[in-house]
Structure 1
Amino acid sequence: MQLIEIDPERYRKRLNKVIFACIGVLSIGSLAISQLLILLIPSPTGSHFHWNLLGVAITAVSVFIILSKLRKHPFFYEVSYVWDLKQALNKINRRMKKIESAAQRGDHVAMHILHFSYCGFRQLWQLDNNTLTINHLTHLENKLHELAETHNVTLDATLYNPSQLASY
């Protein structure tokens, strides 16, 4: 995965539209399906919990399938990119201790992974307007740059490849 620049305003507008659409479809779809099931197959005990649960489950699966199909549509470009970025950063985070210790030992690949991770988090936090932890991230980036300078490594986020994580 490569980091790309996206317009934060456009991303937020499209993300809000996707979220509101999902909430609306989940609400209306769940109610409609569960009411239809209750109407077609009434429960003699009067409890319709299982039909309501089934309505929610069917609608949730439908929304997931629809989002998966629409993922490549140009409208979803920014939202899909951020979704992929979060997944990539999550994979790195699961191995962060090993990556950090390898970087401390001078492992060039680990330093590139850390650099990609820090750049990705910075972009993500700026897109989500989460500036509370930027100072901590800047501190980590500075430490990484000092480490890279010590080991004569030129940091480049484009050198990151997800297959590199298998070593850690």
Structure 2
Amino acid sequence: MSFRFESHDPHAYRRTSRLVGLAMAGQLIVFGLVFTQLLGTAFTPSLWLNALGVLLGLGATGLVLAGLRDRPWLGPVRYGWRLKQRLSTVSGYLPALRRGMADGDERALAVLAFYHQGMAQLGELDGRTLDDDAELLAERQALRLARQARRLPERVDGLDEADLADFKRG
């Protein structure tokens, strides 16, 4: 399975992301209160029943989100979730990838290029800048020079997870 970069409007992404977050938080509060009240009415109220009501509210909120997940208007948010998931996976292997870059491993160069492009795109979508981290900037420049030395394009289209899987084994 591979992940490809997509272009999304940062303002629309942030607006939709905030709306979804607020709606899910509000829904959790309402469902939690409703389930807690129902359980308190049916049984003698207790701390455990209140906790169970909140857990039931969390489950109901999760089910609603799972039902809405494939809606077209959630496309940018869904892309952001997938991008964050892939970046999190890659970040667990950064020390090994950096060693691979030092050794000239082209797969490591490709995965690191994906990581830096993904971090830049995520920062753009979230409205943050990544230019204040000197270590990150130095690594990005070293990666750019290493890819140029091997006549590889500066940018990649996405992450080929077979490269990452091969790199994990090797």
Q: Deviations over 1:50-95 (max 9, x none)?
A: 1111111111122222212211111110000000000000000011
Paired with 2:66 and 2:163, the residues of 1 have a C-alpha distance of 27
How many pairs align? 163
Per chain length, whose mean CA-contact separation is higher, i.e. which structure has more relative contact order (CA < 8 Å, sep 6+)? 2
The corresponding residue for 1:87 is: 85
Paired with 2:72 and 2:104, the residues of 1 have a C-alpha distance of 41
- Check 1:57–1:155 CA distance in 2 against 1; reply closer, same or farther (3 A cut): same
Paired with 2:163 and 2:63, the residues of 1 have a C-alpha distance of 30
Corresponding residue to 2:67 among 66, 69, 92: 69
Does the 8 Å CA contact 2:40/2:49 hold for their aligned counterparts?
yes
Does residue 144 of the first structure (1) align with residue 143 of the second (2)?
Answer: yes
Does the 8 Å CA contact 2:32/2:54 hold for their aligned counterparts?
yes
Detail structure 1 runs of 4+ shifted over 6 Å in the superposition. none
Does the 8 Å CA contact 2:148/2:154 hold for their aligned counterparts?
no
The corresponding residue for 2:10 is: 8
Paired with 1:157 and 1:65, the residues of 2 have a C-alpha distance of 36
Q: Deviations over 1:116-167 (max 9, x none)?
A: 1100000101111122x33434432211011222333334422621232222
The corresponding residue for 2:111 is: 113
Determine helix, strand or coil for the equivalent of 1:134. coil
The residue type equivalent to 2:24 in the other structure is C
Give the drift of 1:31. Answer: 0.8
Which sections of structure 1, spanning at least 5 residues, go unmatched? none
Does residue 128 of the first structure (1) align with residue 130 of the second (2)?
Answer: no
Which sections of structure 2, spanning at least 5 residues, go unmatched? none
The residue type equivalent to 1:49 in the other structure is L
Scaled by the length of structure 1, the TM-score of the pair is 0.90
Does the 8 Å CA contact 2:97/2:112 hold for their aligned counterparts?
yes
Corresponding residue to 1:18 among 8, 17, 20: 20
Scaled by the length of structure 2, the TM-score of the pair is 0.89
Over aligned residues, Cα RMSD in angstroms? 1.5
